[in-house]
Each structure stands twice: as structure tokens, then as C-alpha cells.
Amino acid sequence: MTDRIREFLRNRREDGPCVVVDLDVVRSNYAAFARALPDTRVFYAVKANPAPEVLSLLAQLGSCFDCASVPEIQMALAAGATADRISYGNTIKKERDIERSYHLGVRLFAVDAKEEVEKVARAAPGAKVFCRILCDGAGAEWPLSRKFGCDPSMAADVLEHAHRLGLVAYGVSFHVGSQQKNVDAWDAALSVTSAIFRDCAERGFSLSFVNLGGGFPARYLEDVPAAEAYGAAIFRALSRHFGNTIPETIIEPGRGLVGAAGMIEAEVVLISHKSEDDAVRWVYLDIGKFGGLAETMEEAIRYPIRTARDGDALVPCVLAGPTCDSADVMYEKNPVMLPVSLAIGDKVLIEATGAYTTTYSTVAFNGFSPLRSYVI
């Protein structure tokens, strides 16, 4: 936790859970990516945390933005980004939304099917498109499903279709899975990408762009490699597969830029046992899966939890949220070790919660307010 967050929380008087995001951490993470991949532009994945202060800071620092919807595009524009710094990276778009984004000036679109190419060709004539390919996500703690991307064997067909319809068949994109701890995960995808480049060249049009996606991790319970290690591994892979004709590249970090910048303060509402002789403690917080901690689904992301009683003896606890949905249990298969002295009313701090929390919080399930967010 940063001193600035500690100071902010000391002075906070409002009731209820909140996340506090320290912009200094976002700034230094951005600098680390820029240094690690000096020839690669950063397109911040807006969905990770669209707080206006975060977007404005990144716009000032020179970042570009990966947006998934027209409202995200409008937020990036409002934060000071120009349309040429925005990518419409969602492969699933209504034609009307493509048209709206085109009127806002956006000219870079993701596709993964000929059907989507046709929409872009009609609604955004002459725009650049890149084809997203499937990637298995091995090594990622929050792997992405088969939902996005086409089989690499179909990519050249999709891009050729774009070329024939008057679009700029620009390149290829993939996402190696979120919270990807293997710095070499980009290598296999770049090998496949270079084959698509060759295939397209043989068909008479040339690609020049690779979107390396996100996947850069935040530190939760375990150390993760630094941005520098990712940069070095990606550069090695680019050199191996593209020789000395390395294409234009972008990355789309979300979690890696803002995850570590945020901290949630929550409160213990109840500590109980399910029967007299049951040793397992149940600890219920005023935040859970529906209040912003959706990524605890299947216990995928395990956040570090701090209390004022750290140092006391620890006991295994099931950790759950306050809502009336029985799915609102965060860690049960692998309980959390918490101080035996933890008491009802204690504050707990949930670290590295700057990404994928505010936007995953429900509007009013059980009447609970969406996660309050402070950006400092």
C-alpha cells in the first residue's frame, strides 16, 4: 500500500467499502511499459478501470486507448485522447456503433469473422482492420475463452475479405490470457502471426501491424516478472519470427497498468461457524463478488488481504460477501489465512484491486451501492 492511500484512508469518514487508486502508481507503471517496449505504442484497455482521472492521466502521458464500446470511446475522447489514438478492439459490434465510432473519427477496428468485416466495410469505409486470432491462454490465471478470435487458419481469409471490400487489411491481434505470468507466452502466437503475414503477402496484400494484446500481470500473492522481462521476451520473439522486418506493434495492458494502483478498504460484518464443532471460520465482508470482486469467480484471482492484526496467529477462513446470493463466496476451496484475533467491525485492506473492480460492481443488488471509487 502506498503512503498516499494510507493517508487518504486515515482521513476517510464515509461508511461502506471503497477502492482508492493512486495515480502515481499508474504513472510509474506506464513509464515501465514505455521503457520496456520503446518501439511499441501502449493502448490502455479502458475496461480495466475507466475512472476519468486515470484516463486523463494516461492521455497526458501519451497513451492510446483500446475501447470496447461507443461509451468507452466517448470517455477516452473526453479524457483528451484524439480519435487517431483510439482502437475499437471489440470483435462484437453493432453496425450502428461502428458507424457512430466512425463519425467520432475512429479508424482502427478489430474483427474475427467475415461477417464482422462486412459491417465495418459498410459503416467505416476505408478503415484499418486487424484480425484477432485464438490463443490458448496457457499460463494465464484469468485465461480467456474461445469467445474471441478465429482459428489462425481462417485469419488470412478474413483479412483478404477486408482487402477486397476496400478496407486496409492492417494486421493481426491476439491476447495471451490475462494475468499471464509466462513471459514467453507471446512466442507461439507471434510464430503463428508471422505465418499469417506470409500467407497474406502471397495473396497480394501485405500486413504491417501486430496487436500484442494485454496479459501483463499485477502482483497479487506472488511476485510476477517485471515489465522489462516481458519487453525483452517479446522483442526476442519478434526478432525470431519477423527477422529484420519487425512490424508496427501495440500492447493493450489493463491489469498491468492499474491493478497494483488500487486498494479496497472493506469491513468485517460477521465472523461465525456453521456448527458448534465446525472448525472452519466464515468471515463475511461488506464487499464480495457482486460489489466489485467478480474476479474471485472460481477463485481465479487471489487478492492479498491485510488487517491491523497481521502478525497474530492465523487461521483458515472462508471469505464471503454480504449479499443474499449463495454464489457470493469468494474463497472456500482454498480458504484464506486470517488472524485469529480478527473481529467484527475490523477494517480489512484488499490489495491490488485497481483493475476489474469498479466496473464489475452491480448497480444495486440487494440495495448495495456500486463500489465507491476515489482516485488520488
What is the contact mask toward ligand PLP in residues 45 to 64, using x (rule: CB under 6 A)? Answer: x-xx----------------
Restricted to residues 288-317, the positions that interact with ligand PLP (CB under 6 A) are none
| Least CB distance to ligand PLP at residue 123 (A) | 20
| Least CB distance to ligand PLP at residue 250 (A) | 10
Neighbours of 340 (CB within 10 A): 12
Q: How many residues bind ligand PLP (CB under 6 A)?
A: 16
What is the contact mask toward ligand PLP in residues 184 to 223, using x (rule: CB under 6 A)? Answer: -----------------------------xxxx-------
Which residues, including other chains, have CB under 8 Å from residue 267's CB and lie 6 or more apart?
17, 285, 286, 345, 346, 347, 348
Q: Does 231 bind ligand PLP (CB under 6 A)?
A: no
Neighbours of 275 (CB within 10 A): 7
What is the contact mask toward ligand PLP in residues 17 to 46, using x (rule: CB under 6 A)? Answer: ----------------------------x-
The catalytic position among 64, 135, 317, 324 is: 324
Restricted to residues 164-183, the positions that interact with ligand PLP (CB under 6 A) are 175, 178
Which residue type is seen at 157? D
Query: Can you spell out the DSSP letters for 33-102?
Result: HHHHSTTEEEEEEGGG---HHHHHHHHHHT-EEEESSHHHHHHHHHTT--GGGEEE--S---HHHHHHHH
Q: Does 256 bind ligand PLP (CB under 6 A)?
A: yes
In the complex with ligand PLP, the residue whose CB is nearer, 135 or 349, is 135
The 3-state DSSP class for residue 281 equals: strand
Length of the chain: 376
Which residues, including other chains, have CB under 8 Å from residue 243's CB and lie 6 or more apart?
none
Q: Is 64 annotated in the active site?
A: no
User: 213: which 3 cell numbers?
Assistant: 494484446
User: Which residues carry out catalysis?
Assistant: 324
Which residues form the interface with ligand PLP (CB under 6 A)?
45, 47-48, 66, 89, 175, 178, 213-216, 252-256
